[in-house]
Amino acid sequence: MGPPMQPPGSNGERNVPRPPISTGHHHVLDGARWRTVAIKEKPKMPWTFWGRGIVDLRPIGRQMVAGRLLRHAMGEAKRIIRIIACEHKVGMCKCPYDRFMLYQDDEASWQPWVMCLLASTTTREGSFFLEASLIYSLENDHTNIDHNINWLRSCDYGGEGPRLAADADEEHFVYLAVRPIPSDEIAIAVPAADRLQQPT
């Protein structure tokens, strides 16, 4: 399961104020709209210090078969979740920019800071199955279950997005969205995942 998640303040980050939306990190010039709100991963700093926007955590430089892509996406999702106490949601979309900005709308019920692109597929159906697999796996091993938005609020099993015929063979993205939990919202209690693993 890896090391326990750390609440804000445990590594000196305190309650970091929500940063403004990024103005872009153009390390790849492909014209993708989401790069106008891209942020750069800073490996030695918690993601609360990366900024507010989209970070690309997809595998670089080689094609992956489905099983390896799933394992990569799962590893990255768990790594991000465990950096700091957070709420998380797995999702999929055709346009990361549109999805991220929808989350940032003043009327949105949940506003994540960082949207991590875990993988992309050449068809919508591929992303549906990858999204569903990640949702199930995180739920099944109780990863951050007390703060899992798919589990707590959305009743989301994955693969339930729009099915426009014109989009079926377009590139789609699977992502993990995260929002830090301020220390005054963190219950001083044993997380559900730990309770389930303790001997009775």
The per-residue pLDDT for range 176-192, each reduced to its tens digit, is 999 999 877 765 434 44
Distance, CA of 192 to CA of 185 (rounded, Å):
16
For residue 153, pLDDT beyond 70: yes
Q: List pLDDT tens digits, range 159-178.
A: 566 666 667 878 999 999 99
The Cβ-side half-sphere exposure at 26, using a 13 Å CA radius, reads 8
Please answer whether residues 33 and 101 qualify as being in contact, where contact means their C-beta atoms are separated by less than 8 angstroms: no
Please answer whether residues 180 and 8 qualify as being in contact, where contact means their C-beta atoms are separated by less than 8 angstroms: yes
What is the average pLDDT across 55-61? 90
| Lowest model confidence (mean pLDDT) among 11-20, 42-51, 98-107 | 11-20
**pLDDT level of residue 197 (50, 70, 90 thresholds):** very low
Domain residue extents for the chain = 33-197
Which residues lie closer than 8 Å to 65 by C-beta, 6 or more apart? Answer: none
User: Can you give the C-alpha Rg of the chain in angstroms?
Assistant: 17
Please answer whether residues 50 and 39 qualify as being in contact, where contact means their C-beta atoms are separated by less than 8 angstroms: yes
Is pTM beyond 0.75 here?
A: yes
